[in-house]
Amino acid sequence: MDDKTLLALFDRFEKSDAAELKYSGNGFNFELRRKDAFAASPLVAASCAPTPAAAPVSSPAQEIKAHSASPAPHAPAGGGGAAAPGFEYIKSPIVGTFYRAPSPDAPAFSEVGKKISKGQKLCIIEAMKMMNALEAEFDCEIVKILVNNGDMVEFDQPIFEVRPL
């Protein structure tokens, strides 16, 4: 699926009254859902297949489920390539700018030592002027924050080291 077709599909969904859209085909899977927690019925990107990342849609915000995996293909800043035994990395699902809080004067979503519940926001990643809220896929405790506020992050880059609860 090319970017033009994908963006047209996203645009159509955004303008519709549909509450959910699921697509699976050509090795590409995604799911969009409206979320009442944000104003103007923004989209929630739940998951993507390992094919190239799709371009975000022009809406106020998106939420992306945090991806976790054992060994990380990218070495985090100041550390080795794999999480310590008993710990996991939460990785960036997109390329963008990492923000720990919703605004400069707001408290951070997560701090070292903080216990995070499944579905709770960990950070925001801005991509193409879109604010994408990253949510935890499981209950965990933040052990390390591997990037600084305002840093650029790459797809699949470890951004948090966590201890699953």
Residue 147's CATH number: 2.40.50.100
| 11 and 92 housed in the same domain | no
Domain boundary among 15, 33, 60: 60
CA-CA distances (angstroms) from residue 160 to 40, 56, 112, 122? 30, 23, 9, 9
- Judged on CB neighbours under 10 Å (0-12, 13-18, 19+), 155 is middle
Residues 159 and 19: their CA atoms lie apart, in Å, by 31
Phi, psi (degrees; rounded to nearest 5) at 30:
-155, 165
| Judgement on whether residues 149 and 84 belong to the same structural domain of the protein | yes
Domain boundary, last residue among 60, 80, 96: 60
55 in the same domain as 71: no
Tell me, yes or no, whether 72 and 42 share the same domain: no
Count of structural domains, the chain:
2
Query: Both 45 and 102 in a single domain?
Result: no
Q: And the tokens for 63?
A: 């939420």
State pTM to two decimals. Answer: 0.52
The answer on 130 and 96 residing in a single domain is: yes
Q: Are residues 23 and 80 in the same domain?
A: no
Whole-number pLDDT of residue 37: 34
Check residue 89 and give its pLDDT.
94
Q: At 74, phi and psi to the nearest 5? A: -105, 135
- Quote the radius of gyration of the chain (alpha carbons, Å): 16
Measure Cα distances from 28 to 47, 52, 73, 129, 150 in Å: 10, 9, 22, 24, 30
Asked if 76 and 112 sit in the same domain, the reply is yes
Tell me which residue range forms the domain holding 117: 66-164
Q: What is the pLDDT of residue 41?
A: 36
All residue ranges of the chain with pLDDT < 70 are 1-3, 6, 13, 23-30, 34-83
Question: Do residues 85 and 149 share a domain?
Answer: yes
**155 and 80 both lie in a single domain:** yes
Query: What distance in Å separates the CA atoms of residue 137 and residue 117, rounded to the nearest whole number?
Result: 8
Residues 126 and 145 in one domain: yes
pLDDT confidence of residue 46: 39
Q: Of 16, 45, 60, which closes a domain? A: 60
pLDDT at 159: 96
137 and 95 share one domain: yes
